[in-house]
Structure 1
Amino acid sequence: MIPTTPAPVKDGIANPAPLGLCAFGMTTVLLNIHNAGFFEMNSMILAMGIFYGGLAQVIAGVIEAKKNNTFGLTAFTSYGFFWLSLVGLIVMPKLGWATAPSEGAMCAYLAIWGVFTFLLFFGTLKLNRALQFVFASLTILFFLLVAGDATGNATIKHLAGYEGIICGASAIYTGIANVLNEVYGRVVLPIGPVNV
């Protein structure tokens, strides 16, 4: 049964974190099913990267700014633009707008995102265990992808795919936990809040 009145929101602005987390998580799962070798790169992944992983996360980040949440603003807008830039890296060479990045260039791209994610991980130490897992597993994912590109080893790329599925699923869990916990006004799905 759908509640007739929404859960109360303190500042009049709904919590954008579930949108950002689900957008990131679902797009990450789908890309990494590809990385694990289950299907080819296709328009489904690219469309998710533009519209849900990309634009929805940017929207979530802008709303986080209105809520005065610097961490949420930085994370969601950054990863939203990560997805948009990743689609650009794939599509622009096919349209003849630029040359495809070399393996070294892709390693640099993925490594800088890995470093950025690792640095944001320290912000999660004041938030909750679920977010800590999301950012820790995402850091590992970026560096597995770097290792796969640097070595050309398909096994490492497939391993990264499976690890990425876990990372994305953890983001989906965290987003849905936020929704259900807010709607029901109690802990339905635990996220392990940090008491500081």
Structure 2
Amino acid sequence: MSQGHAANPGPAGLVALAMACFTFYAVHTGKVEGSCIPLLGIWLLGGFIVQVIVGVMELNHGNVLGGNVFTFFSAFFMFATGAELIFKYLAGAYGWPAIDARIDGWAWLPLAIALLCWTPGYFKSPLSLLGVVLALDIAVPVVALMDMGVIGHEWHVVSGNFLLIAGIFGLYTSTGVVLNTVYERTIIPMGGPLIKPKTVATIAK
């Protein structure tokens, strides 16, 4: 159904994010075996395709916050992580020399810091989208610290559960954006922003 103007690509990016969150939840909480890792890598590479398109479109639409977040999510959370999972699986399967994977933690750390620093920008977004970001604000630093070896892997249950929460909020928000746009009214309430957009005053002449 055509809306007659450029459409919001965000829902597709949020569905891709939810896929990553749900699958990492399954891995981190032991719902699936470690043998799934190469398949997860392939799913993340698929998510990269979606999110890089979304990021570029959001930037073209003038969305500096969402566009940049989707762009670096596509590169690092999706493509780099997916490729690494496949590489690590092959390294283990073929007995390649040991790899110091703590570098992953150092790579995740600036991503976590950027996400935390940019979070206030989402105070002007619907509450359901803010819920996605706040859940990731906990999960991503935990993953970074685990990979660095600062905290133990028993923290997987924390990262896993908050990733699941982020994925659920992501699916809810994507559904709200799509259905509310198609029906041109509120079908799925997403909650108002904590900070209201500025209103431009008009002076009668």
TM-superposition CA deviations, 1:51-108 (whole Å, max 9, x none): 1x21100011111122122222201111111210112222335566x97753531221
Q: 2:19 matched to 1:26?
A: yes
Paired residue secondary structure (2:124): coil
- Work out the number of aligned pairs and report it: 187
Specify the alignment match of 1:3 in structure 2.
Answer: none
Compute the displacement of 1:183 (Å): 1.4
Q: Which of 57, 81, 86 in structure 2 is aligned with 1:91?
A: 86
Identity of aligned residues (%): 23
Q: Extract unaligned runs of 5+ from structure 1.
A: 1-5
The answer (yes or no) to whether the contact 2:180–2:187 under 8 Å persists in 1 is yes
Paired residue secondary structure (2:30): coil
Larger radius of gyration: 2
Specify the alignment match of 2:50 in structure 1.
Answer: 56
Q: Equivalents in 2 of 1:111, 1:15: separation in Å?
A: 30
Q: Equivalents in 1 of 2:10, 2:124: separation in Å?
A: 16
Specify the alignment match of 1:167 in structure 2.
Answer: 166
Q: Equivalents in 2 of 1:100, 1:187: separation in Å?
A: 54
TM-superposition CA deviations, 1:132-173 (whole Å, max 9, x none): 111111010012223433256332112211221111111111
In terms of mean alpha carbon deviation, does 63-72 or 172-181 score higher?
63-72
Tell me how large the CA RMSD over aligned residues is. 2.2
Specify the alignment match of 1:44 in structure 2.
Answer: 39
Q: Equivalents in 1 of 2:99, 2:53: separation in Å?
A: 28
The answer (yes or no) to whether the contact 2:38–2:89 under 8 Å persists in 1 is no
Q: Equivalents in 2 of 1:101, 1:131: separation in Å?
A: 37
Q: TM-score, normalised by structure 1?
A: 0.84
Paired residue secondary structure (1:140): helix
Q: TM-score, normalised by structure 2?
A: 0.81
The answer (yes or no) to whether the contact 1:89–1:100 under 8 Å persists in 2 is no
Q: Equivalents in 2 of 1:111, 1:85: separation in Å?
A: 14
